[in-house]
Amino acid sequence: MTDEPRIFSGIRATGDKTLGNYSGGYRQYVATQEQGEAFFCIVDLHSITTPIEPDDLREYTLSGAAMLFATGLDPDRSTVFAQSHVVAHAEAAWLLSAATSFGELRRMTQFKEKSEGQDFVSAGLFTYPVLMAGDILLYQTDIVPIGDDQRQHVELTRDVAERFNQRYGETFTVPRGVYPEEGARIKNLQEPERLMSTTRGAPQGVVRMVDEPDVIRKKFKTAVTDSEREIRHDPEAKPGISNLLEIMSVATGDPVAELERRYDGAGYGRFKEDVGEAVVALLSPIQDRYRELRADERELQRLLAVGAEKARRASEPTLEAMYERMGFVKAEAGRLFGAARPRGL
């Protein structure tokens, strides 16, 4: 046990990751791992709440893990693991479902949004927030760095933790959500009024983490700007240029104000080219590490196994306390049946 704060975040295993995911996700995770004892969980169990092909789940889990390591999570410093490798998550979800009400879950806006108009709505989509609460509470988490869209789920987690603590005695740390400021939310290069995402918006305006350098350069060259000539950060009047300034800032670490000064009078053409080069320089080493890991699946599996072992050890005491306080009888393994014997012998 240390005095460092416990940090937990879950990363959805979904399709192609973008520069937007880097800015709002990966980049923050790497910064976060320096601030405490951090757990980063690829939440593959959550992925089956909406239809997904088995091959895709497998691919997304491995690529998600590879990208976490490639962008700088350190397997020695942090615990990086797949949710399904630590069975405590599924167990905790079931136990916590007793301390979560139907009414609470029914109010979740994400459930309403995701279930609307679907002809098959899984029970898992409805109970998703309980699984998420378990993810967080199993680790006695202090801080959950997470997107603003998850605020309601974190609030529910806090309510469930308090209710459980009240009913069964102090068991969980009540966690706090930490939401990154608006601002560094990268937009589609072709439609700078909408977020960069692979599921919506012009594909030409979406920079994927695994795009080839020339593809990246081209996307920036053709980025939408405006009819002025001034390189100035003004998201209302100049969404395209403002977005490019923010991207440049993410890629180089230089503040936007300094970039405005540097590119004063430079012209849009040169600026766009430079932003493209800065992004290529940022992504190239990440892509190299990513490809290396994807080519060596055994190494990736090994890293995940190390993470799973650490996560099991960290979550076990909490899960045991949950069972015990709720009144479950402890199983004494092996007593009743003696040594296992192969069938027929």
Helix (H, G, I), strand (E, B) or coil at 139: coil
| Contact call for residue 136 and ligand TRP (CB under 6 A) | yes
| Tokens 């001034």 -> residue | 230
Sequence letter at residue 228? E
| Contact call for residue 132 and ligand TRP (CB under 6 A) | yes
Residue nearest to ligand TRP (CB): 10
Task: Name the residue nearer to ligand TRP (CB basis): 46 or 187.
Answer: 46
> Which strand (E) or helix (H) includes residue 183?
none
- CB burial class (10 A; 0-12, 13-18, 19+) of residue 342? exposed
Task: Name the residue nearer to ligand TRP (CB basis): 6 or 219.
Answer: 6
Stretch that binds ligand TRP, among 53-61, 129-137, 196-204, 221-229 (CB under 6 A): 129-137
Structure tokens at 44: 């593959």
- For residues 93 and 159, give the distance between their C-alpha atoms in angstroms, rounded to a whole number: 15
Task: Name the residue nearer to ligand TRP (CB basis): 150 or 190.
Answer: 150
**Which residues are CB-neighbours of 298 under 8 A, at least 6 positions away?**
none
HEC secondary structure over 21-67: HHHHHHHHHHHHCCCCEEEEEECHHHHCCCCCCHHHHHHHHHHHHHH
Stretch that binds ligand TRP, among 143-151, 196-204, 242-250, 336-344 (CB under 6 A): 143-151
Structure tokens at 340: 């296992």
**Strand order across the 176-178 sheet:** 79-82, 37-42, 6-11, 143-145, 176-178
Classify residue 328 by its DSSP letter.
P
Give the number of residues in contact with ligand TRP, rule: CB under 6 A.
13
Query: Which of 135, 211, 246, 274 is close enough to bind ligand TRP by CB under 6 A?
Result: 135
CB of 122 to ligand TRP, least distance (A): 15
| Contact call for residue 144 and ligand TRP (CB under 6 A) | yes
Query: Which of 5, 12, 294, 325 is close enough to bind ligand TRP by CB under 6 A?
Result: 12
- For residues 200 and 317, give the distance between their C-alpha atoms in angstroms, rounded to a whole number: 43
Select from 183, 185, 164 the least CA-distant residue to 175.
164
CB of 138 to ligand TRP, least distance (A): 10
Radius of gyration of the chain (CA): 23
- For residues 212 and 104, give the distance between their C-alpha atoms in angstroms, rounded to a whole number: 45
| Contact call for residue 25 and ligand TRP (CB under 6 A) | no
| Contact call for residue 160 and ligand TRP (CB under 6 A) | no
Query: Which of 150, 242, 243, 318 is close enough to bind ligand TRP by CB under 6 A?
Result: 150
| Contact call for residue 13 and ligand TRP (CB under 6 A) | no
| Contact call for residue 146 and ligand TRP (CB under 6 A) | yes
Using CB under 6 A as the criterion, what x/- string covers residues 263-302 for binding ligand TRP? Answer: ----------------------------------------
CB of 280 to ligand TRP, least distance (A): 28
Stretch that binds ligand TRP, among 145-153, 192-200, 239-247, 277-285 (CB under 6 A): 145-153
| 8 Å CB contact between 210 and 158 | no
Stretch that binds ligand TRP, among 30-38, 132-140, 290-298, 311-319 (CB under 6 A): 132-140
Query: Which of 24, 29, 42, 46 is close enough to bind ligand TRP by CB under 6 A?
Result: 46
Helix (H, G, I), strand (E, B) or coil at 189: coil
| Contact call for residue 20 and ligand TRP (CB under 6 A) | no
- For residues 90 and 48, give the distance between their C-alpha atoms in angstroms, rounded to a whole number: 13
| Contact call for residue 65 and ligand TRP (CB under 6 A) | no
Task: Name the residue nearer to ligand TRP (CB basis): 106 or 221.
Answer: 106
Positions that interact with ligand TRP (CB under 6 A) = 8-10, 12, 43, 46, 132, 135-136, 144, 146, 150, 153
